[in-house]
Amino acid sequence: MPQTQTQQPRPQTCKGSCHCGAVRYEVSGALKTPVLSCNCSICRRKGTLFSFVPADAFRLLAGKDAVTDYQFNTKNIHHLFCRTCGVTSFATGTAPNGARMVAVNVRCLEDVDLDALTITRYDGKSA
């Protein structure tokens, strides 16, 4: 009897960028939901909505030399922003389990319906 192979769902790939396009990237795999809205002193001012992905699911296509790193408080997260337009399209850091991760600003992803996302509020101000 011939074996039939079941086709595995292909991971979704999202493309993202800063405003001017100097920083461009891809994120492979389904977008993690819910996305996170943090009220810490920097996220509140920037209005970012983050989805966290493993570092190996993120690929920087352009802009390695176009980003500037900003760290504060515990300096666990590298808040990277485009030195030309100032947009923070992603950040890098370490997850609580020690794994490398990327926090992708879903507002910078192409073809993502922001109104369809479930948003979880995180109290980073008190953390």
Contact in structure between 105 and 25 (CB atoms under 8 Å): no
Q: What band does 11 get if pLDDT is binned at 50, 70 and 90?
A: low
For Cα atoms 110, 51, 115, give the angle at the middle one, nearest 5 degrees: 55
- CB neighbour burial string for 30-44, b if at least 16 within 10 angstroms, e if fewer: eebeebbbbebebbe
Q: What band does 111 get if pLDDT is binned at 50, 70 and 90?
A: confident
What spatial distance separates the first Cα and last Cα of the chain, rounded to whole Å? 59
Determine if the pTM surpasses 0.75: yes
Q: Counting Cβ atoms within 10 Å, is residue 63 exposed (0-12), middle (13-18) or buried (19+)?
A: buried
What gap in Å lies between CA 119 and CA 19, rounded to an integer?
23
Domains of the chain from N-terminus onward: 13-122 (2.170.150.70)
Answer yes or no: is pLDDT of 6 > 90.
no
Contact in structure between 25 and 58 (CB atoms under 8 Å): yes
pLDDT for 17 equals: 97
